[in-house]
Structure 1
Amino acid sequence: MPTTTYLCRAKAAYKKSPGILELTPTHLQWTVAGKREPNLRIPNAKAASLFCSKEGSAQVKLKLGLVGDDAGHTFMFTSPQASAEREAFKKELQNIIGMNRASAAPSEPATPGLSTPLQQPLPGRMTMTPRSAPSVSRATSVSSTGRGSSGGPSGPTEDFRLRKKVLLKNQELASLHRELVMSGQITESEFWEGREALLLAEASQESQKRGRPGQLVDPRPESVAGGDIKIVVTPQLVHDMFEEFPVVAKAYNETVPRQLSEAEFWKRYFQSRLFHRHRASVRSSATQFVIKDDPIFDKYVEEEDDGLEPRRQRDDEVDLLVNLLATQEDHTEACHTSCAERRC
């Protein structure tokens, strides 16, 4: 006979009758004490919801809701290790319920982080335990016009991510979400209905591109022996200068290493008019540098021609009168051709 694999086993009473509760990879079964055949056998695929009694209560209970049967079945654990055994069953059943929900709605995203603890339950009442990840349904996608759409361009994963960020920023809304959605009073879609503006505001904030820092790149000179000035050129400084001043990156790419070595490039750059113009806003140490004419860097001082208007205005006078007789022959030939086509 094939051996049965049990995920969990414990003594539990069902309808006030003592027995053994067993969970296998395919079903949950309960057998009355002294019997060999199970009196209750529930396929794992029918598991839909899970409830537990209050922590520390006299009776350690677990209620399993089924698909199409919210009443389900309630079991009371009776051994001295009742709490630990109930937790083992709860963990395994949560995973099973999660897989059932994922199979029923494959388009719904996983929802890590939203299964937060519920509020304290009322004494003597059953309370729902936080469901596993796939148990939270997806809210309606929000389009750019503010109206819900089931297949918006953002997609379900993006919708869930925005909802999660909104809840993390708004503790009162997160508490309301736990109270209503996690307890099963309303669905996820019903909760977010009418709150699409919060998701749109969060999406708009994320779409804003962060600009560069307002502080200019300022290589700090250091005085060394002999009255010379030294600037330490680090990779981070080079990256910042190339980003702040693209013309320096262009000069570097066009001259190193064909005309200048890297060390010679930076030495001549820090003595050029190009560098002095870039650091004109740094008043304190601008006079510490000796500015020299440089045939390589001076050509980069002038802004590139964008082609929108002439760089320099023409000095020669332009005759505003046009000699129409200069092209008289061309016009006559064109006139004859036109007349021939019209059979003048």
Structure 2
Amino acid sequence: MASINIAAKYKISLKEPGIAGVLRMAEERFTFTPHDPRSDSKLDVPFRSVKAHKFSKDGSKQALLNIQLHEGGAYIFDFESFSERNVCRDFVGRVLAKLQSVAPAKVDKAVPNKTAPSVSGEQLSAMEMERRMKLLREDSELQKLHKQFVMTGILTESEFWATRKNLLDDAVHNLTKQRTGFKSSMLADIRPSIDGRSNKVHFNLTAEIIDQIFAEKPAVHRAFLEFVPNKMSAKDFWKKYCEADLLHKTKNVVAAAAEAAEDEELAMFLKRDDILANEVRQKIKRVDPTLDMEADQADDYLHLPGHGILHGGRKDTSDAENELSRRTLSQDLNRHAAVVLEGRTLDVESGDIMAVAEAHVMSKKGSSIETSDKSENQERQEKACRMTELEDLQGPRRLPYASLCIKDPRDYFDSQQANALNSLGDNGVGFTSIDNSLSLEESYTYLIKQISEAKVKGHIDIVEPDVALKVLDGLNNHLSSTKHHIVKNPLVSVLDRLPVAIKDELMDHWTLIQELLRHFWSSYPITTGYLYNKVLRIKEAMAQIYHKLQEIKESVHSDCRHLVFLLVQPMLQALDAAFAQYEADDQKRSAKGAKPNGFFKQG
């Protein structure tokens, strides 16, 4: 029994709008996966726990399916159309009838809030399933093929969509939109508003500004996840951050140190960003050591001990004993430029600050900062050794060679041509002279011989007159009828001259044949039992269409029989070629006495 995947809404009660998702039904269980991955309304229910099912009448307001359980309770699903609801209703009915026919087994309990593996053998995300459903809704022909092949069990979901990866890729390309990057304005340009009456400073921190703060200052992002909401609220956290930002802008190190000594929570914003310092150390390790680092007068390593710009024979570095940050405007500019060039890794659409912080964590999981492993270090050391080799201490690197003695090329080619002509003459192969000149007596004898042969044979008709007349009459009748139709409407094709019913039926059969042949020929060579059973299913479906085409040829009116023959004949030839391939491969396999791996006989 084939599995089905249909879009539906899961409802806890009839009055609720429902949760959109995908309902998957297999022979043993049915599952429901919401489109929203954060939703808890995931279902995994075995059919053995189902007692009965109810459904709304066709033509009512909603296409509902109510699946009731043995232990009480029910699952209500709302479908987009009654046809899709009826497919699930009939599927549930067949499964329940099959379970009732066998011996009663122990009833399993439903397992909600648990993601079940895909019944079709492939793990599909909610976004992937949504793309497939959207393609089926937008393309009626594709939806018809899906119902014809997948619902009837001729093809599985994965087989059907395997030949349409280009459509899925196009859908992904159309859905993906360009992310808006960070603004060029720096965080330093965000000016607070000062209330003169109450002497209060107000900062307006939007979700976009907070996203930029998390990107440019990883230590603030780490502190937010650590303190909010366990130790303080988000409002108090950003209040401390703004106070530290004001102290940093005043550039009063003494006042900042005094405030940090009294308030530990404020001090964490005034300390040096150890995450950025670690990133800079990793950058230094990846730098080619053969470069002159002191020649770079615009480095971004001033906040690291032992790095800085030379001023009068000494370096202006931060005091190692003072842990407060003393970054300059140039360093802030460089950090902001690096974040802008890196681009935004997520879209900030909601005002949920915690969601923005968690999204930054997920985006950083895929790319680790410490990318320099032992192999990279070894490669970097080898490169440094190659670049720092002293040429005067190295041995000569000259490849061995054989001296080339160039002679007169004319002697070589002349000798080769003479050898070739001699070999042709010795073997009796080559050009031979033919003497076409004949004497007078030889010409006369040849002419008399030709006249004698003509007298013996006589004048025999090449084609019999009766047969020729019959063929010409048939051609004239066909040409006259064709000319009549063409003159009547020269732009009308062969299909347009057929009745609408026959035309639609032939077009549907041709579409089905194309799909079946595509899967048939892609299954060869048959190397597994899976491919063997797939070819068997496709062959049976093609045989049914073959008989239907034969019936159309025989039942059509005599006026359209020739036109139908012109359209049906290529279809039959394509199917005959597929049947011939199957018979030849089957005979070859029977002669060897071997069956594909994993072969099993279908009942």
- Which structure: greater strand fraction? 1
- Which structure: greater helix fraction? 2
Q: Please, what TM-score do these two structures have when normalized by structure 2?
A: 0.20
Q: Please, what TM-score do these two structures have when normalized by structure 1?
A: 0.31
